[in-house]
Amino acid sequence: MSNPVLTPSPPRRRRSFSGPFVLIFLGLLFLLGNLHVLSWARLGFWFAHYWPLLLILWGIIKLIEYQAALREGTSPRGIGAGGIFLVIVIVFFGLIATQASRFNWGEIRDNMGIDDEDFKNLFGESYSFDDHLERDFPAGASLKVLDNHGAVSVHASDDNKITVIVRKRIGAGNQSDADKFNSQTEPTITTIGGLVTLDAKVEGAGDHPVQTDLAISLPRKASVSIASRHGEVNVVAREGNLEVSTQRGDTSVEEITGNVKLTLEKSSAKVEQVSGDVHVEGRLTDVSISDVKGSVQLDGEFMESVKLARITKAVSFKSSRTDMEFARLDGQLDLDSGDLNASEITGPLRLTTRAKDVRLENVSGDVRLQDDNGGVEISMRSLGNVQIDSRKGDIQFSVPEKAGFRVDARTRDGEISSEFPELKIENGDHEARASGSVGNATAHLVINNEHGGIELRKAPASGGPKEGMPGGITGAVPGPRQPKPPKALTPPKENVEATEN
C-alpha cells in the first residue's frame, strides 16, 4: 500500500496593522480635541492641508508588510474591500476639506451676520482682554486706523495726545492659547512723517477669531482715515477731513468741519452736520444725510432707503435705476425701491428713473424728468422750463396761479384735463393734446405721456400747503374747473427688483 501524497498547505498570511494604525491615529486626534489641547478648527486646518500624508503613511505600511511577507515566505495581504472603502472616504472628505479651507469664512460669516459667539463651541471659549495705548500726537499729523474686525469710535481730546482704549475678544481652546493669541494681536501705533497709523493687528492669530474694539481720542483738527472690514464706525466732532472704508457695519458721522468720504459695502450710513462736501459710494442699505453746507454725491446701489434733508449745495445721486441732480434741498427727500418723495427742491432738477412713483412739492426752477412705469406728481413754487416724459403712469402738474407759461402736452391711451381755460385741449380716441399760452408765457412746459392721463392744476404762487390735492401733494387750490373726464386706467407696473433704488 502506497503512502498518501501530502498536499502542502497554503502560505500563512500576515495580519495587516494598517487598520489599527489608522484607528490609533484618529483616536489620538479626537482625544486631543476633546481635551482642548488642540482646537477643532486647528485639527480641521491640518486635515485640509495634510490629508494626503495619511495615504502616504498607509502606502508605506503596506510596503513594509509586503517586504516582510516575502522574507518570511508568506502570502502578502492585499488592500481588501475595507481598505478600498477607507481610501475612498479619506480622499472624499480630504477634497471637501481642502476646498472648504479655500473659502473666505470671515466674509461668509459677515454676510450672514453671524457673531463669534455662534462659533464658541467650535473654537472653545471666548476670552476678553483690555489694553490702553497713549502717545504724543504730532502737530498737523493725520490718523489712519486699520481694524478688520471690530468697532471703531473717534472723538476729540483735550490735549495733544492720541489715547486708545482697546477691548478685545479672542476665541481659543484654553487660557494659555488665548494669552498667546492676545500677544500676537497687540495693536500698534507708528508715526512716519505726518501720518500716524493705528493697526489693530486682528489677523495676527491666524484662523482664530479676534474682535478688537477701538475707542480713540485725538486732537480735534486731525484728519482721520478708517479702514475696516466688519464693525461699526462712529466719528464725532472733527475739524479735518474724514474718510471711512468698511465692508460691513453701520457708520455714523456727526459734527465734521471738513469733507467726508464713505466707501461702504453692505452697510448703512448716517451723516449729520457737515460743513464740507459729502461723498458716499458702494453698496449700501439705509442712508441718512442731513444739514450739509457743502454738496452731496451718492454713487452705487442703495438697497432700502435714502433720506436727505437740508443740503445747501448741489446734490447728485446715481444708481442702476435712478439718476438725479439738483442745485439745493431746503426740505427733505425720501427715496426707496418704489417711491421718491421730496419737498423744497431748487433746480435745475434733472431726474431719470424707472418703476417709481415720483411726488415733488414746492419745486423751483427748471425741471427735466423722465420716469418709466410710475406716476408723477409735481407742485411748482417758482416755474421754470419743464419737460416731463413718462410711460405707464398718470401725470399731475401744479403751476403757481399767476405764472405765465406755454404748454405743449401729448398723451396716448389717456386724457388731458386742465384748470386753465386759456389752453386748447383735444381728447381723441387714442391720443390727447393740449396747447396754448397762459399769461406772459415766460416758461415752456412740455409733457409727453405714453400710457396715462395728464392733469394741469393751479397752485398758489407762494406754494403754501392747502388741502384737497390728491396723491399726498399739498399746495394746490381747488378753484373753478371744468368737468374732469374719467382717468384712463394705468397698466400694471413691470416686475423689477425691489431691492435697489
Do 243 and 261 meet the contact criterion of CB atoms below 8 Å apart? Answer: yes
Amino acid at 100: A
Per-residue pLDDT of 258-295, as tens digits, reads: 999 999 998 999 999 999 999 999 999 899 999 999 99
The answer on 125 and 96 residing in a single domain is no
Residue whose C-alpha cell is 482642548: 36
Per-residue pLDDT of 3-46, as tens digits, reads: 555 555 555 555 666 666 766 777 777 777 666 666 566 666 67
- Average pLDDT of 51-65? 76
Q: How many domains does the structure of the chain reveal?
A: 4
Does residue 401 form part of some domain?
Answer: yes
**Which residues contact residue 92 at a Cβ distance below 8 angstroms, ignoring those fewer than 6 apart?**
none
The answer on 147 and 180 residing in a single domain is yes
**Which residues contact residue 118 at a Cβ distance below 8 angstroms, ignoring those fewer than 6 apart?**
none
Amino acid at 413: D
What is the per-residue pLDDT for 35?
A: 66
- Average pLDDT of 114-138? 72
Residue 252 DSSP one-character state: E
Q: In whole angstroms, what is the distance from residue 58 CA to residue 463 CA?
A: 87
- For β-strands 296-311 and 328-335, DSSP reports them as antiparallel
Does residue 377 form part of some domain?
Answer: yes
The answer on 222 and 274 residing in a single domain is no
Q: pTM, whole model, 2 decimals?
A: 0.73
Per-residue pLDDT of 383-421, as tens digits, reads: 999 999 998 889 999 998 888 999 999 999 889 999 999
Burial of 28 (0-12, 13-18, 19+ CB in 10 A): exposed
Do 138 and 162 meet the contact criterion of CB atoms below 8 Å apart? Answer: no
What is the per-residue pLDDT for 314?
A: 97
- What confidence tier does 469 reach under pLDDT thresholds 50, 70, 90? very low
**Which residues contact residue 88 at a Cβ distance below 8 angstroms, ignoring those fewer than 6 apart?**
none
Per-residue pLDDT of 313-359, as tens digits, reads: 999 999 999 999 999 999 999 999 889 999 999 999 999 998 899 99
Q: Closest by alpha carbon to 65, among 26, 24, 20, 29? A: 20
What is the per-residue pLDDT for 65?
A: 73
What is the per-residue pLDDT for 67?
A: 75
What is the per-residue pLDDT for 58?
A: 73
What is the per-residue pLDDT for 14?
A: 55
The answer on 242 and 276 residing in a single domain is no
What is the per-residue pLDDT for 91?
A: 79
Residue 416 main-chain phi, psi, to 5 deg? -115, 135
Does residue 368 form part of some domain?
Answer: yes
Asked if pLDDT for residue 245 goes beyond 70, the answer is yes
Q: Closest by alpha carbon to 239, among 297, 146, 157? A: 157
Does residue 107 form part of some domain?
Answer: no
Asked if pLDDT for residue 120 goes beyond 60, the answer is no
Do 207 and 41 meet the contact criterion of CB atoms below 8 Å apart? Answer: yes
Q: In whole angstroms, what is the distance from residue 418 CA to residue 165 CA?
A: 67
Going from the C-alpha of 360 to that of each of 164, 314, 395, the distances in angstroms are: 47, 17, 12
Burial of 87 (0-12, 13-18, 19+ CB in 10 A): middle
Cell of 439: 399769461
Does residue 111 form part of some domain?
Answer: no
CA 283 to chain centre: 4
CA 319 to chain centre: 14
Q: Which of 300, 322, 344 is the last residue of a domain?
A: 344
Q: In whole angstroms, what is the distance from residue 326 CA to residue 345 CA?
A: 7
Q: In whole angstroms, what is the distance from residue 421 CA to residue 129 CA?
A: 78
Q: Which of 48, 71, 102 is the last residue of a domain?
A: 102
- Average pLDDT of 442-465? 82
- Average pLDDT of 204-232? 91
pLDDT, the chain, mean: 82
Q: Closest by alpha carbon to 139, among 174, 191, 89, 177? A: 191
| Parent domain of 268 | 251-344
The answer on 230 and 181 residing in a single domain is yes
Q: Which of 216, 249, 282 is the last residue of a domain?
A: 249
The SS3 assignment for 204 reads: helix
Per-residue pLDDT of 71-102, as tens digits, reads: 766 666 666 666 677 778 777 777 777 776 66
Cell of 482: 371744468
Residue whose C-alpha cell is 421718491: 340
Is pLDDT larger for residue 53 or for residue 285?
285
Does residue 234 form part of some domain?
Answer: yes
Asked if pLDDT for residue 106 goes beyond 70, the answer is no
What is the per-residue pLDDT for 410?
A: 94
